């Protein structure tokens, strides 16, 4: 199994210093965080595991995160946050001027279309 296509798309759209939100990938050896670190300086953020910064991303204020980044990567976490609008506002606060926010969410309906495309 090769590198997932979504990993490549995310990494190809990153620039500069990166903060990876929701980066906990359990015990997986190969994950998006490791893939990004092959090319960029990455700060990982999560409430579980061993991230660089521990932060509950459902909180209104992200008190544990201090700094600015060129790219905020938040893959497949948006569907887990209680307040998506506040989440995006917090992401925006982390960005340098001209920075990039990369969000992705799973397509919950994709399996339905595979079995019933009409």
pTM: predicted TM-score of the whole model, two decimal places: 0.86
Percent of the chain with pLDDT strictly greater than 70: 85
Model pLDDT, residue 117:
53
Looking at the predicted structure, is the pLDDT value of residue 116 above 80?
A: no
- Tokens coding 53: 């910064």
User: Where are the strands (E) in the chain, listed by range?
Assistant: 18-21, 42-46, 53-54, 69-75, 95-104
Residue scoring higher pLDDT (68 or 117): 68
CA distance 43 to 53: 7
Q: Could you report the per-residue pLDDT of 42-84, keeping only the tens digit for each?
A: 999 999 888 999 999 999 999 999 999 999 999 988 888 999 9
Looking at the predicted structure, is the pLDDT value of residue 99 above 80?
A: yes
Percent of the chain with pLDDT strictly greater than 90: 69
CA distance 91 to 69: 10
Please provide the size of the chain in residues.
118
Model pLDDT, residue 11:
97
Select 5-115's CATH number: 3.10.450.350, 3.40.50.150, 3.40.50.1980, 1.10.287.1080. 3.40.50.150
Grade residue 30 by pLDDT with cuts at 50, 70 and 90. Answer: confident
CA distance 71 to 35: 15
Domain locations along the chain = 5-115
CA distance 80 to 55: 14
Model pLDDT, residue 21:
97
* Residue 96 DSSP one-character state: E
């Amino acid at each position: 199994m090769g590198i997932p296509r979504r990993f490549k798309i995310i990494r190809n759209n990153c620039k500069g210093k990166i903060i990876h939100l929701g980066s906990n990938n359990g015990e997986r050896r190969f994950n998006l965080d490791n893939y990004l670190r092959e090319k960029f300086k990455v700060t990982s953020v999560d409430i579980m595991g061993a991230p660089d910064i521990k932060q509950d991303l459902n909180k209104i204020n992200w008190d544990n995160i201090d700094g600015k980044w060129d790219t905020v990567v938040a893959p497949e976490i948006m569907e887990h946050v209680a307040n998506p609008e506040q989440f995006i506002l917090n992401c925006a606060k982390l960005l340098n001027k001209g920075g990039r926010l990369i969000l992705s969410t799973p397509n919950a309906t994709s399996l339905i279309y595979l079995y019933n495309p009409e």
